[in-house]
Amino acid sequence: EVLNGIKVIKLFSLEKIQHARLQNARDKEVNNIFKLSINMTMFGVVANCSGPLMTMIAFISMMAMNSFDIGSAFTTMFMFQALTYTIITLPMMLTFSSDAVISSSRITTFLQLSEKDPGIQVKIHELNNHEQQQLQENVENKSILVTGNPTFVWSLADDKII
């Protein structure tokens, strides 16, 4: 009982340390999320302003060279709208594909882990000699599942003890 009391005291003393560690990790996460949101906002502003800005610069340069006509104006507008779509989608596709590669490598690593308990769990001391001999034969034959006289009991309705 004294040892259990010591364990409880240790757990309560570690609670503040664990809280500080979690708070530090959470602060770093919030800081990174804030930086990401600012970057995404700036990217959105640049992506939405790039098409009209490029079109305006192209029109000014065509007017300065005296080659501004209706055909070149519509061609220029169409070209810059297509480029704007590419400017918007390319970084997102790169981000999504890198996330997919990272996720698939994590899933592959997880699926290639060994099993937690590859052995057979048997209470040998509850078996008689004949059952122990059968168990040994089954293990040698590499049986997947071996059971012997299993029982199951529901708890009583008035039993409130956990």
> pLDDT by residue (tens digit) across 130-152?
877 777 777 676 655 666 677 76
Instruction: Verify that 23 and 86 share a domain, yes or no.
Output: yes
Structural domain span for residue 127: 118-148
Count the domains in the chain.
2
Residue 162 inside a domain? The answer is: no
Residue 35 inside a domain? The answer is: yes
Q: Place 101 in a pLDDT band, splitting at 50, 70 and 90.
A: very high
Mean pLDDT, residues 35-60: 86
Instruction: Verify that 27 and 103 share a domain, yes or no.
Output: yes
Give the residue among 96, 100, 62 at the shortest CA–CA distance from 79.
62
Cα-based angle 41, 44, 49 (whole degrees, multiple of 5): 130
| 70 has a pLDDT exceeding 80 | yes
Cα–Cα distance measured from residue 71 to residue 62, given in angstroms and rounded to the nearest whole number:
12
Give the residue carrying structure tokens 């590669």: 101
Give Cα 65 to chain centroid, integer Å. Answer: 54
Give the residue among 71, 49, 51, 76 at the shortest CA–CA distance from 61.
76
- Bigger pLDDT: 45 vs 83: 45
Q: Place 155 in a pLDDT band, splitting at 50, 70 and 90.
A: low
Residue 139 inside a domain? The answer is: yes
Q: What are the CB-based long-range contacts (under 8 Å, 24+) for 84-92?
A: 84/47, 84/50, 84/51, 84/54, 87/47, 87/50, 88/47, 91/43
Instruction: Verify that 105 and 136 share a domain, yes or no.
Output: no
Task: Determine what percent of the chain is predicted with pLDDT higher than 70.
Answer: 78
Cβ 59 vs Cβ 68: under 8 Å = yes
Top-ranked range on mean pLDDT: pick from 18-22, 29-33, 144-148: 29-33
Instruction: Verify that 137 and 63 share a domain, yes or no.
Output: no
Q: For the chain, what percentages of helix, strand and coil (3-state, to nearest 5) are there?
A: 75, 0, 25
Give the residue carrying structure tokens 């290639």: 112
Mean pLDDT, residues 39-67: 86
Cβ 51 vs Cβ 80: under 8 Å = yes
